[in-house]
Amino acid sequence: MYRFLLSWRWAITVLVALLLIPACIRLGFWQLHRHEARVARNTLIGQSLKAVPVAFDSLSTGPGFAVPTDLTWRTVTATGEYDTAHEFVVRQRTASDGSTIGFFVVTPLRLADGHGEVLVNRGWVDSGPDATQYPPVPAAPTGPVTVTGRLRADETRASSGIRDRGGLPDRQFMLINSAQQATADRTAVLGGYLELAASSPAPADAPQALPEPEHSDIGPHMAYAIQWWLFASLVPVGLLVLVRREARDRRAATATPASPAEPEAPDASGLEPLPAG
């Protein structure tokens, strides 16, 4: 009765089912790894934000320094004076609510200890009606200032997914990159940059502050992993149901049809029986 499984149609059906099972299992583990990476990232961010602030130049060792993953979002401080002559804006950045595209305002801070300059992302400003023009930017504080912020790695095309094209207006860039800002006519720019959280003394006016990174949402990846594993367990069940249904239908098709009922024999007298009543 199950010889139909040797047909090409059923051989292909069984083969597809056998391939689906490991594929679903593997996709489940892929989602599990994404969940674990998300949890690890959230844990790292939470620990970094709560850590005791340290001096920026104690972590960034000099020009070209690549901020490692375990130091990203570390709370840092820096003391010095803003170098407003080399201030610039970064294009195509959204406001904290994600509704409006504008600029990040980046102002180098010349460190008081003479170790170099730190790029400080002071926050976001609206692009205004013409994005080709340098936007109105709240002035950076003058004189000595101490800033506290979050350590970030230099942006690159690979890490940000942003195409760093040329031909931009003066003092407008696509990336925050210390190597890009390093020139022969200025103090050395330390690798990485600082995302401003607080300033002392506080300025009367400032760009829109950047919020702390979200680090509580673990995402839907664990739910997706469970779904894939459920699919893997349902594939053999579904295949078994299809096989049993096919076998039942074939049995019904080959069953011997019932014989028609024989007509009732006439009365021995040859007379039709009288109706009742």
How do residues 28-58 score in pLDDT, each as one tens digit? Answer: 999 999 999 989 888 888 888 888 899 998 9
Residue 85 domain-assigned (yes or no): yes
* Greater pLDDT, 29 or 157: 29
* pLDDT classification of 256: cutoffs 50, 70, 90: low
Nearest of 151, 183, 180, 191 to residue 90 by alpha carbon: 180
DSSP summary character for residue 86: G
Residue 265 domain-assigned (yes or no): no
Residue 134 domain-assigned (yes or no): yes
Residue 137 domain-assigned (yes or no): yes
- Give the Å distances, CA to CA, from 204 to 29, 72, 141, 142, 200: 52, 29, 9, 12, 11
DSSP summary character for residue 73: T
- At which residue do the structure tokens 């844990």 appear? 43
Does this model's pTM top 0.75? no
Name beta bridge partners: 110. Answer: 81, 117
Share of the chain above pLDDT 70, in %: 87
Q: What are the percentages of helix, strand and coil residues in the chain, rounded to 5? A: 35, 20, 40
Nearest of 20, 14, 70, 19 to residue 41 by alpha carbon: 70
Task: With beta carbons less than 8 A apart as the criterion, state whether 53 and 75 touch.
Answer: yes
* pLDDT classification of 70: cutoffs 50, 70, 90: confident
pLDDT tens-digit profile of 105-144? Answer: 999 999 998 889 999 999 999 987 888 888 999 999 999 9
Residue 143 domain-assigned (yes or no): yes
* Domain containing residue 141: 52-200
Longest dimension (CA), the chain: 135
208 backbone dihedrals φ, ψ, rounded to 5°? -65, 125
User: What value does the mean pLDDT take over residues 174-183?
Assistant: 88
Residue 68 domain-assigned (yes or no): yes
Residue 264 domain-assigned (yes or no): no
Peptide bond into 201 cis (omega under 30): yes
Cα–Cα dist 277/274, whole Å: 9
Residue 149 domain-assigned (yes or no): yes
User: What value does the mean pLDDT take over residues 204-216?
Assistant: 87
Domain count, the chain: 1
